[in-house]
Amino acid sequence: MPSNEGLISLARRFRVLIAGASYGGLSAALTLLDLSRGQLARFNYDPETKPPQHHIPVDITLVDEKDGFYHLIGSPRALVDEQFASDTWARFVDIKALQSPHVRFIRGSVSAIDCQRKTATILDSASRTTREEGYDFFIAGTGLRRVFPAVPQSRTRDAFLAEVRKHTADVVNARQGVVVVGGGAVGTEMATEIKLLYPQLHVTLIHSREHLLSAEPLPDDFKDRVAALIRETGVELILGQRVVDTTAVEEKTGRIWCLTLADGRAIKAGHVLSAVSRCTPTSSYLPPQVLDDEGHVRVQPSLQFPSTIPNASYHFAIGDLAAWSGIKRCGAAMHMGHYAGYNIHQLMLAECVASKPDFQELQEIPPMIGLCLGRTAVSYHPVDGVKDGEDVLASMFGDDMAYKVCWNYMRLSEPWQA
């Protein structure tokens, strides 16, 4: 760990309020912790970058509805594998990198912010009371509201594990097989994970369009390769058919479901999972004038609010909540969190030592994606094209749907040091 000797300590103490403590929010907080004590940000890989010469006191408050960091990428496996699930949810109090006297967590939600006054209204889940919290800088990183089974609906680790046990039992006991409806990223990964973990089950994936991932701006050869790989896992794939009716039928062996497709076909299943995308931005607490028509935050390349907003330079939005190019991905969220933390530190320096901020600015992000499909993976990048195989699985996801990749990238196991 680099020495802090020679650092110039500044008396001004800054308050940073971060709404959302997932990939983006944690990356922003960790960047600020590193820079505030005169170290390079852990996400910096530019050998030309020099560490800060000033120690800036920072107090960071993270507000999140959950009691811990949940590895969202791992949902397709976590919700049908209790052992794996227990590793994908780490309570904030158990994450060593965040055990700093300058970091505190509030389990709750931000219900409103006042950009002019730089205050936030916070609903505390534990006390069920509302408080007003002042800040010097604010980061909106609450992401999208996703429905089950794309993400668990639990807010605590214990409730999450109970949710997993119930969901796993529903899948395992589905003697008539499992049907997954919706062939987006979640549906494709969920169907193949269920087939991998429970090969005795008949698994069917139904998608209403002729190509999987039809909502994403990806080339057809990628989508066709995904379809071929899914079929190779033993999952039955039905494309171009909408489910027009789902009816519960009581039989001697228990309840089953009868699905009627647009072409008249009837399919029976012991359990049905809807993976149809229904994601909405969690931006209702933000001023309407910062939002686009879909509810995402219009940001500058520095990730600051539009300049027409009062105190725009002190307000940032990151991750899935930000209106920016590219497919919504956890990697992009961590990248944005790093940039927001860095740019806030630049503004702190500018205020304390009258320097000019040198911002990190986002470039356009082209469509790119990686999917974990059982024992293999497939990826697309505009430079590399379509790739698949066990080597892609190993490099992108490892053996745990990228849990260790993300955890180690954020260095969450490293104890905080003053």
Does pLDDT of 277 surpass 80? no
Find the range with the poorest average confidence among 64-73, 228-237, 271-280. Answer: 271-280
Provide the residue type at 374 as one letter: G
Q: What pLDDT shows up at residue 4?
A: 52
Q: What pLDDT shows up at residue 142?
A: 97
Provide the residue type at 41 as one letter: A
pLDDT in tens, 319-328: 999 999 999 9
pLDDT in tens, 121-156: 999 998 899 999 999 999 999 999 988 777 888 999
pLDDT in tens, 210-237: 999 999 999 999 999 999 999 999 999 9
Does pLDDT of 252 surpass 80? no
Q: What pLDDT shows up at residue 17?
A: 98
- 224 sits in which H/E element: helix 220-232
* Nearest of 326, 309, 330 to residue 403 by alpha carbon: 330
- 191 sits in which H/E element: helix 185-197
Q: What pLDDT shows up at residue 276?
A: 84
Supply 20's token pair: 């959302």
Terminal CA-CA length for the chain: 11
Distance CA 89, CA 69 (A): 6
Pairing assessment for the beta strands 297-298 and 236-239 based on DSSP bridges: unpaired
Q: What angle, rounded to 10 degrees, do the helices at 330-353 and 403-410 form?
A: 10
Q: What pLDDT shows up at residue 2?
A: 47
* Residue 36 pLDDT class (50, 70, 90 cuts): very high
pLDDT in tens, 97-115: 999 999 999 999 999 999 9
pLDDT in tens, 165-193: 999 999 999 989 999 999 999 999 999 99
Query: Mean of the per-residue pLDDT values for the chain?
Result: 94
Distance CA 408, CA 405 (A): 6
Distance CA 94, CA 114 (A): 32
Does pLDDT of 81 surpass 50? yes
All domains in the chain, ordered by first residue: 8-148+279-365 (3.50.50.60), 177-277 (3.50.50.60)
Determine the number of helices (DSSP H) and then strands (DSSP E) in the chain.
9, 25
DSSP string across 34-96:
HHHTT---TT---TTPPPPSEE--EEEEEEESSSEEE-GGGHHHHTT-HHHHHHHEEEGGG-G
* Residue 278 pLDDT class (50, 70, 90 cuts): confident
Does pLDDT of 3 surpass 50? no
**pTM tops 0.85:** yes
Distance CA 112, CA 142 (A): 13
* Residue 5 pLDDT class (50, 70, 90 cuts): low
Does pLDDT of 296 surpass 90? yes
Bond from prior residue into 149 cis (ω within 30 degrees of 0): yes
Q: What pLDDT shows up at residue 126?
A: 86
Exposure string of 16-54, with b = 16+ CB inside 10 Å and e = fewer, is: bbbbbbbbbbbbbbbbbbbbbbbbbbbbbeeeeeeebeb
